[in-house]
Chains A and B, each alone.
Chain A
């Protein structure tokens, strides 16, 4: 073998090595003056509808930020871009794609996928490669009990869904000259991870206010009759009735409290917007409280989009459908990155991570400030009350459009 071919082989080998390991290192996440973010979203499969909401939310944020001149990092302006892959709604594929984004595409900042399941699969990967991961669509509490340092969630975790219903009840009780300690709770939950998280949150809040839990039932997933549980509720006459059982639970609650004349001053549930209780159940739904992550009528404001309502209008114009909260929280995730890049003054993932951890920013989606586990504890959940056949925001009282009707008057059918 001559030295010439030897040299050539060496050159080829090093070229191949460069090719393999090329797009890593501190400069790879930028191309010229563009910062690349990465995301695996569900464009096909069972989450395809919400996956599209997520992508639209991300795209709208990127468009807006670039229109405003991009982000300034250390005196230089950068545009933003997102590298997308379709995770097909499967966690294993999501994890694979996260590896690919980090190792092959050289992405150093990851946006979340849709759903807790996918986020749970991707979080260990971003943790392993020390890549900041900001998500707006994984609400499970356990995402933030694993000690992840690089995962941040802008949304309220599932244990917050009905926590504020208890807090609100305490507030209302005080206004009406009653000691929250004298209040009694009846509650029922489906036996799934989400609802059990909701339950844990309620128990903590009840303990804080010294309220007593009298009924604590679990509902089977094939539930189609809550009569036995509600008979118990009728007997103990609680001040609050709280239920988390997805669309079926919400529907049965509304229907059977009305039919069985279960008169409880505060009745709150999850999933009533997706169960469309106000639209389809008429008077029976009056006065029911519903938990939600975000609403366009809230008085939140930021420098990027203006008010929550402005955001909803911009979104509608861009995508021709009303902004769901899934899109709003996705947009907010991008804003967290933009804010952190500017404060970090660097694109070093470790520095950006520290800047994200110190985030304290107001957005159209609500205030964002992460606790030490990475979840946003500053944004309260929104509570709607069905009033006159419509969902009206009644809590948090500071941002709400209408006052709560208390006590709930049992609708006559």
Chain B
């Protein structure tokens, strides 16, 4: 374990890895909020989540190309993607809301391929890097570096989480969304237009993804194929955190980011995703064991 020894020789590296991981994790959290919302309310697993992230990235890129600081891409992407999400619901998603879970996976998988290929045709497969140009902070004599954009992303993820909580608790639409999530039929009986609630939910999801996409593009890069890892991570985060708990999503996402980064350092970047999946399996199995034990007490 040469890499492990490296960590012991220079413990400061651990700080770097953890910092990077925590800050990336916050970006993962954003896409995961959206997935949780759609899953909880519409009972749909949206496989096209990553593609919405990708579209948000292109919004930042085109602003950057027009000479505007791509940071404005965060609200602009959110607004534009809300419209995209709304349209997607009105054209495709409403047809699969009450259907089997597998049909929704199939339909959104088809959507993801369609969006990806359209993006390739429209934006070309080139790799793009819109940069906000905020520079880097160096600490410990340059041994640890953090880019400002990552810190901004982290703050944006926390803010979005806060806004989401307020939206769900404090607004009429938010209350309607929660009511629909609890019991769609009862909500309908109470006079809630659930169709409209679904459209809003999908729109809000797309808006959050768009904002995270703009942050991803500014932190790393964007091309038509960056979506899939974000879909996978959102899925994993929601599985671990459970539906309906926003702070758990944030905590899981940050933990995942840190675990990924440290595993990539120790075992090589090649095994990063494999490690994450291994972790998922371990968590699911151990949770089953715990649950089974609890059930035994109840019986």
Contact = CB atoms under 8 A, between A and B. Distances in A.
Contact of A247 (B20, B127, B135, B265): B127
Contact of B229 (A218, A219, A222, A226): A222
B223 A248 contact: yes
B269 A218 contact: yes
A142 B104 CA distance: 44
Interface string B132-170: 010110100011010100000000000000000000000
A217 B127 contact: no
Interface residues of B, number: 39
Given A222-B229, A259-B145, A260-B145, A229 B269 contact: yes
Nearest to B148: A259
A228 interface: yes
Most A CB atoms within 10 A — which of B133, B142, B228, B264?
Answer: B264
B17 interface: yes
A27 interface: no
Nearest to B268: A217
Given A227-B261, A229-B264, A255 B221 contact: yes
Contacts of A83: none
B270 A251 contact: no
A220 interface: yes
Most A CB atoms within 10 A — which of B143, B221, B270, B272?
Answer: B270
B223 A219 contact: no
A224 B264 contact: no
Interface stretch (A204-212, A274-282, A375-383): A274-282
A260 B13 CA distance: 12
Given A248-B223, A413-B135, A235 B10 contact: yes
A232 B127 contact: no
Contact of A235 (B6, B131, B133, B142): B6
Nearest to B142: A261
B127 A413 contact: no
A224 B220 contact: yes
B269 A275 contact: no
Contacts of A276: 126
Given A227-B20, A228-B261, A275-B127, A218 B136 contact: no
Given A222-B228, A231-B16, A217 B269 contact: yes
A222 B136 contact: no
Given A218-B269, A235-B10, A260-B145, A224 B221 contact: yes
A226 B133 contact: no
Interface in B212-266: 216, 220-221, 223, 225-226, 228-229, 261-262, 264-265
B129 A223 contact: no
B17 A217 contact: no
Interface string B97-136: 0000000000000000000000000000011110101011
A364 B229 CA distance: 45
Given A225-B24, A247-B126, A247-B127, A261 B138 contact: yes
A225 B23 CA distance: 12
Contacts of B6: 232, 235-236
Contacts of B17: 227-228, 231
A188 interface: yes
Contact of A219 (B129, B226, B270): B270
B269 A248 contact: no
B221 A251 contact: yes
B126 A255 contact: no
B136 A232 contact: no
Contacts of B175: none
Given A236-B6, A261-B145, A223 B269 contact: yes
A11 to B, nearest CB: 58
B273 interface: yes
A25 to B, nearest CB: 47
A41 to B, nearest CB: 22
A251 B262 CA distance: 22
A218 B3 CA distance: 14
A260 B133 CA distance: 14
B135 A248 contact: no
Nearest to A254: B129
Nearest to A281: B129
Given A236-B6, A261-B138, A413-B135, A222 B221 contact: no
B13 A235 contact: yes
A248 B136 CA distance: 21
A226 B219 CA distance: 12
13 contacts: A219-B270, A222-B225, A228-B261, A228-B265, A231-B16, A235-B6, A235-B13, A247-B127, A248-B127, A251-B221, A275-B126, A280-B128, A413-B133
Q: Which 9 A-B pairs have the closest CB atoms?
A: A228-B264, A218-B270, A228-B265, A247-B127, A224-B220, A227-B20, A251-B127, A260-B145, A259-B147
Interface of B: 3, 6, 9-10, 13, 16-17, 20, 24, 126-129, 131, 133, 135-136, 138, 142-143, 145, 147, 216, 220-221, 223, 225-226, 228-229, 261-262, 264-265, 268-270, 272-273
Given A217-B269, A222-B225, 17 more contacts: A191-B270, A218-B269, A225-B220, A228-B262, A228-B269, A228-B272, A229-B269, A231-B20, A234-B13, A235-B6, A235-B9, A247-B126, A251-B221, A259-B145, A260-B145, A261-B142, A280-B128
